[in-house]
Copies of this chain bind each other. A is one copy, B any other.
Amino acid sequence: MLVQKYKEMLNKKSVIRDMAEYAAKRGQEIGYENVFDYSLGNPSVQVPQEYTDALIHMLQNEDPMTIHGYSPTLTIPKVREAVAQNLNERFGMNYTKEHIFMVSGAAGAIAHAVRLVTEPGDEVVTFAPFFPEYHPYVDLSGAVLKVVPAHPQDFQIDFEALDRMLSQKVMAVLINTPNNPSGIVYSEETLRRLADILTRKSAEYGHDIYLISDEPYREIVFDKKKVPFPAKFYDRTITCYSWSKSLSVPGDRIGYVAVNPACPDATTMIQMCGQISRGIGHNCPTAMVQLAVAQAIQYTADLSVYETNMNLLYDELTALGFTVVRPGGTFYIFPKALEEDAVAFCEKAKKYDLILVPGDSFGCPGYFRMAYCIDTEKVKRSLAALRRFVETEYR
């Protein structure tokens, strides 16, 4: 029963939230500046002035009916057009506005994407480690989330495990690159092999398997690398984007669904998003926010702090003997804990005011996540605590 399900969810505590609450409480005791809070993935950099200016300029000068009026069913055409052009310029694609549907953040994007390609009871496959919110996003649509075990050597895809899990009931595969919580970027080789297996299995089962690509961290990438664009490798790709991280505006709730123009029925799928939206009560993200992201589409916040923080942590963790895959992007790192039970490990870390999140809820027990979207100065101060923690508890 759904109503019962919602009720039961209230009793399930989120470990991330628990840790964040502990950090806040501890902060009241010793000053929050002394708590090395790596719990929440909450973007911390300044919003680009161009975005703020776009909003203020509209509010001061534009016709109120334009900025506060209803969006059309398929969201604002010139905004969809701006997104399409931007994707084409950056990734050599052929989107038009007919392939773009604006939504309220990545949660909204995935809500539409899952309903586009699954019926209740169908399966959606994702890969550990994965963002725990994928469970409610998928399960409460009526579909069932299945998780392919992690490939901890590099957190790319374990294709043998995937092969076993791609049953007749799987209608979509959900990826997240760069990945929360591992920070890993899927290589071109991974995406090519993924496309191959999805093409093969689609033929075998006589129905299409779609790729849902969740890309809110696409712009946070390290070592001057490029993130391969998943839709380039597989026609039936539904790209889910959010500006939460790139513009540092998670509260504004803005993103999009883009259906690969090479996907059969791509434009029909976008039109269907308008119908799904009525059913789940979205009916377009805030109009002025749509208009503002279109005006600021060339900009991101200054995201370099995340790379600075990553390097500090990666070097220290490595020096301390942690097994850790170097992140290619995001503001997360996902090392192996120094004992089998990562929950116990993270519990002990609290004594050193280090707030870490065990990997269990990410489908990857024995690991832990650090969200380093915090001031570099604090990261630096945390390194001594980390060293003390390891040397006291594990030497």
Which residues of A are interface residues toward B (Cβ below 8 A)?
A: 1-3, 6-7, 9-10, 42, 44, 46-47, 52, 55-56, 59-60, 64-65, 67-71, 103-105, 107-112, 115-120, 133, 136-137, 139-142, 248-253, 268, 271-272, 275-276, 278-289
Contact = CB atoms under 8 A, between A and B. Distances in A.
A286 B292 CA distance: 13
The quantity of this chain's copies bound in the complex is 2
B119 A6 contact: no
A108 B68 contact: no
A282 B284 contact: no
Contacts of A69: 42, 250-251
Given A109-B281, A140-B276, 12 more contacts: A6-B115, A6-B116, A9-B275, A46-B64, A52-B64, A56-B60, A104-B283, A105-B283, A107-B281, A140-B279, A252-B288, A253-B286
Nearest to A41: B70
Contacts of A56: 56, 59-60
Contacts of A288: 251-252
28 contacts: A1-B119, A2-B120, A3-B117, A6-B115, A6-B275, A7-B268, A9-B272, A9-B275, A10-B268, A42-B69, A44-B65, A55-B59, A56-B60, A68-B251, A103-B281, A107-B278, A108-B282, A109-B281, A112-B281, A137-B278, A139-B279, A141-B279, A251-B284, A251-B287, A251-B288, A253-B283, A253-B286, A280-B280
Contacts of A253: 104, 283-287
A7 B115 CA distance: 12
Nearest to A70: B250
Ranked nearest first, the 8 interchain pairs of A and B with the lowest CB-CB distance are A111-B281, A140-B279, A251-B287, A136-B278, A280-B280, A68-B249, A107-B281, A108-B281
| Residue from A110, A119, A286 whose CB has the most chain B CB atoms within 10 Å | A286
